[in-house]
Amino acid sequence: MSQPHDVLIIGTGITGLSAAKHSLQNGLSTVTMEALLPGGLVTNVNELDGEIQGSGSDIAAALMLEVHKLGAKNINATAASIERDAEMLAVTSDAGRHLARTVIIASGARLRRLGIPGEAEFEDRGVSHCADCDGPFYKDQNVVVVGGGDSAAQEALVLSEFARQVHLVHRGANFKARQHLVDRLTDHPNIVIHWRAQVEAVLGDRSVRAVRVREADGPAAGEISCTGFFPYVGLEPSCEFVPEAVLRDAGGLLLTDANLRTAMPGVFAAGAVRSGFGGLLKHSVAEGVTAAESACAFIRS
């Protein structure tokens, strides 16, 4: 078992890295734990939209470097549980049991699956979750994007630079995406919007060849020919390892107070895993700072 740290941060997306930076700047011994590579959801976004601009991987790499220079250690492992151990908190992972005075949960979220026939079967054979990575493979082909929020709008615009036609299928009659993204979608020369429509199945043989779509007002389901299918229908929190003592909202997101304290003393939650998170990188940075401040106050109280 390793020496106890002041702060153990689960997840090194932009929230976790921001928390680590601030915690180290406050003089706290800090360790991060990451299941995959650092950067989280924005790693594959080449052109960020919003107040923080540039490429997601560049921003994550710059933060990583700062955190590394400040002396953070990273455990490359998946957190499996958090429990109280006398005066400490114990986080168990596939790399062992780690003690800390405080824990910041910054484990973010993953893209929600539609759960329709063909979606899992054609994963990486036409079904993709990364427009920036896979867009160039669909040059002059037809692709289908599903969703009505920022991610769907942003990724449809990325794909429109490569694809012959982007079909954007949205079950609602209005977009939830921010207005400047909606403005760019409307009247776009190679984006066709299918309002009040739902994809029922992904069809193909060795790879995707079409999707079956039902329009709310249409008489029967029809097909859209496509070789690429990109669902962006929201996020689900990555918090299976978090104990029941940390309360959730109806959508499974972690509940905190304004100082990002959960119901479990010494455990804080920030970023995309948290109920009430604003959704953008500027919110990740701000919440990382608040969680580190709260952890610092807890230790010094």
> Looking up tokens 């982007």, which residue turns up?
166
Q: Is 55 exposed, middle or buried (0-12, 13-18, 19+ CB in 10 A)?
A: middle
Least separation in angstroms between CB 10 and ligand FAD: 5
Range in contact with ligand FAD (rule: CB under 6 A) among 27-35, 118-126, 139-147, 163-171:
27-35
∠ Cα 260 101 275 (to 5°):
20
Among 160, 284, 290, 294, binds ligand FAD (CB under 6 A): 284
Footprint of ligand FAD on residues 137-176 (CB under 6 A)? 151, 154-155
Distance, in Å, from the CA atom of 130 to the CA atom of 122, rounded to the nearest integer, reads: 14
212: amino acid identity, one letter: R
Tell me which residues in 243-282 interact with ligand FAD (CB under 6 A).
271-272, 279-281
Binding part of the chain for ligand FAD, among 11-19, 159-167, 198-206, 244-252 by CB under 6 A, reads: 11-19
Pick the binder of ligand FAD from 4, 25, 52, 252 (CB under 6 A): 52
Residue 41 touches ligand FAD, criterion: CB under 6 A: yes
Length of the chain: 301
How many angstroms separate the CA atoms of 107 and 271, rounded?
Answer: 8
Site string for ligand FAD, 113-132 (x = CB under 6 A): --------------------
- Please, are residues 109 and 41 in contact by the beta-carbon 8 Å criterion? yes
As a whole number of angstroms, the distance between CA 222 and CA 210 comes to: 10
Contact residue for ligand FAD among 8, 24, 28, 33 (CB under 6 A): 33
Report yes or no: 10 and 107 within 8 Å, Cβ to Cβ: yes
**Counting contacts by CB under 6 A, is residue 106 touching ligand FAD?**
yes
Residues 103, 63, 253, 239, CA torsion sign = negative
Segment near ligand FAD (CB under 6 A); pick from 47-55, 96-104, 203-211, 251-259: 47-55
Could you list the residues that contact ligand FAD (CB under 6 A)? 10-16, 33-36, 40-42, 45, 48-50, 52, 78-79, 106-109, 151, 154-155, 238, 241, 271-272, 279-281, 284
